[in-house]
Amino acid sequence: ADLAELTAEVSVCRACPRLVTWREDVARDKRASFAGEPYWGRPIAGWGSETPGVLIVGLAPAANGGNRTGRIFTGDRSGDWLFAALHRVGLAAQPTSVHAGDGQRLLGARMVAAVRCAPPDNKPTTVERDTCAPWLEREVELVGGSVRAVVCLGQYGWDAALRTLRSLGYDVPRPKPRFGHAAEARVTAPGGREVTVLGSYHPSQQNTFTGRLTEPMLDAVLTRAAALAVE
Ligand code: SF4
């Protein structure tokens, strides 16, 4: 399978009954608020370069962000923050990501969600997390050969990335490296290539409004990832 097939397959996944109901209910209830715009209401695929040096791992699409626009971190406040930072450090062509047809491009980077459907309260269950894990594994199998830095947004992204890499045969240190902002863990791909896993606080409103995550803090992690990608 190639990336186009993976994107097509995940887009019609209905494996988690609670999330299928939620994503479709939100789409039905909120469509009127975004009159005239298409409302996705389905799983969101990975997006960006097919040979990324930087892989960005988030939690799940926001109900009215990725779930609405069909593109990860697009059309919500977290995405506004993230794309502004990606643009500042040269990983995105534009400073905003508004809708799937806005011309935005990631430069040498790819974004994926650990869980591909919007969960209520941004909290997937453990079963939902594990049910969705193979999509991330398949994507990393397809694009991982070029990746030098994995940027994990929040503890959830960190855990998902390390779990995925370990299941694909990467040598991940034990005990599992601890998440923190600007935390770094070196993992070794089968074949010996080194990959650096970087932690960042999630650019959620909860973190950005309170100043727990500032623009310079996010820029520093993304700058480090971009530098690793061209080493
Ligand atoms: Fe499928 Fe993942 Fe969505 Fe569950 S969360 S329905 S496994 S795409």
ipTM score for this prediction: 0.99
Measuring CA to CA, which residue among 139, 190, 143 is closest to residue 160? 139
Q: How far apart are CA 150 and CA 54, in angstroms?
A: 6
Percent of the chain whose pLDDT exceeds 70: 100
Q: What is the pLDDT of residues 165-224, one digit of tens each?
A: 999 999 999 999 999 999 999 999 999 999 999 999 999 999 999 999 999 999 999 999
Residue among 6, 10, 12, 13 whose CB has most ligand 1 atoms within 8 A, to mutate:
13
Q: What is the pLDDT of residues 5-38, one digit of tens each?
A: 999 999 999 999 999 998 888 878 777 777 777 7
* Residue 204 in tokens: 């959620």
- The domain 3-229 having CATH identifier 3.40.710.10: the answer here is no
Which helix (H) or strand (E) segment holds residue 188: the answer is strand 184-188
Strands 184-188 and 194-200: antiparallel
Crossing angle between the packed helical segments 3-11 and 126-143, to the nearest 10 degrees: 160
Exposure b/e, 75-104, CB count within 10 A at least 16 = b? bbebbbbbbbbbbebebbeeeebbebeeeb
Give yes or no for residue 139 CB within 6 A of ligand 1.
no
Residue among 12, 135, 138 whose CB has most ligand 1 atoms within 8 A, to mutate:
135
